[in-house]
Amino acid sequence: MVLLFDVAVRTDQTEQRLQVLDAREDAGRHNAFDKLIGANLDMLAVDSHSDELVLGVVLSSRASFELVQKAAIVNIRNIVAMGAPSGLAIDLAKGCDICLLGFVKSSQSSTGSAIAFNVYSSPQPLV
């Protein structure tokens, strides 16, 4: 499954909100990502982007070079993968100023819930 989301950040950086825009699924991660791009091509076109639109995807798989490449082409700036990114994917994400997170998992404890992840590329500090 692949989710497309918009991260809205207020100018004072005090409030962030995540809005899921679309979700697609397929047996293959590349097919799911292609479906997501195709269904949202009008919004993803570079000339139709507003400065306030910060797009990202959540991948229920690992992040390959090809998936990062597709994200870069359609100006998706954030990739969150449940699995590991490849070395080439990390290099490309760094070169394209894409925030790349991997091994995302949640855990529950007696003190509450937490989300853990590895940061492989982040052009801006994560809050």
pLDDT in tens, 45-90: 766 555 667 888 999 899 999 999 999 999 899 999 999 999 999 9
Sign of CA dihedral 57, 73, 28, 36: positive
Q: Give CA–CA dist 36/70, Å, rounded.
A: 11
The CATH homologous superfamily of the domain defined by 2-121: Cytidine Deaminase, domain 2 (3.40.140.10)
Cα–Cα distance, 98 to 60 (Å, whole number)? 18
- Nearest partner of 116 among 104, 101, 102, 98, judged by Cα: 104
Which residues on adjacent β-strands are paired with residue 58?
3, 80
pLDDT tens-place string over residues 81-99: 999 999 999 999 999 999 9
Q: Where are the domains of the chain?
A: 2-121
Is the CB of residue 55 less than 8 Å from the CB of residue 6? yes
Q: Is the pTM of this model over 0.85?
A: no
